[in-house]
Amino acid sequence: MSAFVQYTVQGLAAGGFYALAALGLAVIFGVLGVVNFSHGACYMLGAVAAAVLLDVLHVHFWVALAIVPILLFLVGVLMERLLIRWLLRLDPLYNFLLTFGLSLILVDVVKRRYGVSGLPYERPAGMAGQLHIGGIGLPTYSVFVCLFSLLICGVVWLLLTKTRVGMIVRASTEDADRTRALGINVGRWVTPVFGFGIALAGLAGVMAAPFRAITADMGSNFVIILFAVVVIGGLGSILGAVVAGFLVGLVEAYGQAYAPTFAQVAIFVLMAGVVLFRPAGLFGRDESA
Amino acid sequence: MTQHVNNTSETPGTPHTPDTADVAPQPAGSRRGPLRWIMAAVGLVATLALPWFVYPPVAMDIAAWALFAISVDLLLGYTGLLSFGHAAFWGSSSYVTGLIAIHWGVPFPIAILGGMLFAMAIAVPIGYLSVRRTGIYFAMVTLAFAQMVYFVANQLSGLTGGENGLQAIPISFFGIAPVETDPFFFYFAAIGLILLGIWAAWRIVHSPFGRVLVAIRENPARARALGYDVDRYKIIVFVLSAGLAGLAGGVFAISHGFTSLEELDWTTSGKVVLITVLGGIGTLWGGPLGAAIVVTLEDRLTSSGFEGTGIILGSIFVVIVLLFRHGIWGTVRDLLQRRMEPRHDRGD
């Protein structure tokens, strides 16, 4: 029983990264109609930025948690302004390919600068030990990751449902043309929304830094699992991204615990099942032909 | 200032590949008829002359990647489906080809045939599931399934050699020593298979079946209304395309004498899409052109000790997608067409 609880916490922690990053992917897709292939690279940039900040400027983890997303927001703004924007009118496949090329560049630049071996990152003070809840020992940091990512998802949810900006984002996700017809300047929100989505990927990266090996390739597999997450949740569905993120994290953790050989395959089997029985995703609306 | 789009494309005409509206097969007897034969002849001569000008193993790589790119173009350019998981077929065929060659020692074309059939076999379930989604979803789903194949190959390390890959794949060719030992002669033995694959792609595109594919690309709803089983056509072309990718992957594995997980990796899927887009979507001829450029470039970069291949390839990708969406062949063809047909046939 205690082992099961530990796997669950582990799965929810991994799911937290997926949920945060998938949330960013979903928001970007909702407003821009772009599937950002470089999301994994941005996640990696978040982790590398945290490691470099700690190493060079001795910036503490908690500060990095605030600074890095802002840096990544700026990266996202640059990407959108310089590149993404020119292809928004075309088939979304072009931006998919563009961001794929971008991600090749980013990964290789980091690889050349910081090598292929992992950068070190210590768990922040007070997070190294274990929590004992009801006689079950749980890694403090995993518990923190679960709670914190849930918190961020909650905050984003509130932003989307309770603020005017959130309302515009949701409205343009639903029907951009009609939103525009109602006199709302949707275009004004394109750049900030893209930056925001990238910042979420960066935040997931910072949180992963004490947890995973920080390498240039850390986002390569991540982004594909992220795609599986949004296919399962329903691309464009905010709730779907979060729920599917945690779900995939759990599947991965239970898989690693009980059937280690096919842990990673299990995620894709889950995706195959969803595509077979609910092609639009668990929370998606069926808008495709 | 609002450049905002949601999901649907604002380009007129084709929903999936907006820049390929003019790739429909020409009616018989069109003015490009003789030109096409001239081009085919030039292509054939260039193919046969290649190993005199390029290091033969590199020439073989170019040929294999060319067919691989053509297999992707069959889906992307002619059916409007971007497969971002074709490494699954190229890579799995390279493994199966290698395993057959190692364990049974049959002549290499038979081993490659086995690899190709395996690729087609796994393409059936993958295609069946993937065609349930279109556009960007199709790309993501195929990518994810290809990654699944990657993980399975990694897990079956007893069979596939895991991280080490499959080493020492022999070339067996009816005991004809030059082919079995000299890459120069091997090129001429294997190029037939590649040409056969290219010819098959050409036949598919210019058949009634190929016309239906273009119709599906242009307007799936109308194709369905006309009584075509759209999903069935998509699955069939997906499996055919996987077979061509498998053929190319098998040749690649034999030529290199080993294969590794890299051939199943999603970067391989990305690279072949890059080659296809660079050459020109929906042109078939673009594939060989893109392959020649990318393979030669990579070879030069690696031999000069430059390790940032991803930076170069990624930059090419970004530039092509931003500025030359018709690719090299498409751009050249557009220029030629503008020359040859100055007045009529312009306004669509």
The mean pLDDT values, 10 residues at a time, for chain B of 348 residues are: 37 38 44 74 86 89 95 92 94 94 90 95 94 86 91 86 83 80 88 93 92 90 90 94 96 92 92 93 89 92 83 90 87 81 51
Model pLDDT, residue B183: 86
Interface contact B21, partner A, CB < 8 A: no
Tokens 């092609």, located at residue: A279
Model pLDDT, residue B344: 52
Interface contact B270, partner A, CB < 8 A: yes
Which of A37, A93, A262 is the best residue to mutate to test the B interface, defined by the most B CB atoms within 10 Å of its own CB? A93
User: Residue A286: inside a domain, yes or no?
Assistant: no
User: Residue A88: inside a domain, yes or no?
Assistant: yes
Interface contact A234, partner B, CB < 8 A: no
User: Which among A7, A5, A14 is positioned nearest to A135, based on CA atoms?
Assistant: A5
Interface contact A142, partner B, CB < 8 A: no
Domain count, chain A: 1
With CA atoms as reference, the chain A residue closest to B311 would be A105
- Termini Cα distance of chain B: 29
Q: What is the CA radius of gyration of chain B?
A: 20
User: Residue A123: inside a domain, yes or no?
Assistant: no
Helix (H, G, I), strand (E, B) or coil at B276: helix
Using a CB-CB cut-off of 8 Å, the residues of chain B touching A279 are 132-133
Model pLDDT, residue A181: 86
Q: Which of A 64-103 lie inside 8 A of B, CB atoms? A: 83, 85-94, 96-98, 100-103
User: Residue A128: inside a domain, yes or no?
Assistant: no
DSSP B170: P
Distance, in Å, from the CA atom of A157 to the CA atom of A281, rounded to the nearest integer, reads: 20
Distance, in Å, from the CA atom of B62 to the CA atom of B292, rounded to the nearest integer, reads: 5
Min distance B253 CA to chain A CA atoms (Å):
25
Interface contact B145, partner A, CB < 8 A: yes
Three-state secondary structure readout of A126-153: CCCCEEEECCEEEEHHHHHHHHHHHHHH
Q: Which of A 25-64 lie inside 8 A of B, CB atoms? A: 29-33, 35
Which residues does chain A have with pLDDT short of 50?
A: 288-289
Give alpha helix (H) positions in B16-55: 33-53
Model pLDDT, residue A78: 93
Domain that holds residue A107: 2-115+135-277
With CA atoms as reference, the chain B residue closest to A261 would be B155
B119, B246 in Cβ contact below 8 A?
Answer: yes
Model pLDDT, residue B5: 37
For A133, phi and psi rounded to 5 degrees? -120, 115
Nearest Cβ partner of A265 from B2, B10, B151? B151
Domain B49-340 CATH assignment equals 1.10.1740: no
- Tell me the domain boundaries of chain B: 49-340
Yes or no, beta carbons of B3 and A35 under 8 Å apart: no
User: Residue A235: inside a domain, yes or no?
Assistant: yes
Give the CATH number, domain containing residue A231: 1.10.3470
Taking every pair of Cα atoms in chain A, the longest distance, rounded to a whole number of angstroms, is 59
Model pLDDT, residue B4: 40
Tokens 């893209």, located at residue: A194
Yes or no, beta carbons of A104 and B313 under 8 Å apart: yes
Model pLDDT, residue B83: 93
Q: pTM, whole model, 2 decimals?
A: 0.87
Model pLDDT, residue B3: 38
B290, B331 in Cβ contact below 8 A?
Answer: no
User: Distance between alpha carbon B76 and the CA centroid of its chain, in Å?
Assistant: 10
Model pLDDT, residue B347: 44
Model pLDDT, residue B24: 44
Nearest Cβ partner of A91 from B18, B129, B318? B18
For A137, phi and psi rounded to 5 degrees? -85, 125
Model pLDDT, residue B162: 79
Q: Which of A 246-285 lie inside 8 A of B, CB atoms? A: 261-262, 264-265, 268-269, 271-272, 275-276, 279
User: Which among A87, A22, A235 is positioned nearest to B317, based on CA atoms?
Assistant: A87
With CA atoms as reference, the chain B residue closest to A225 would be B144
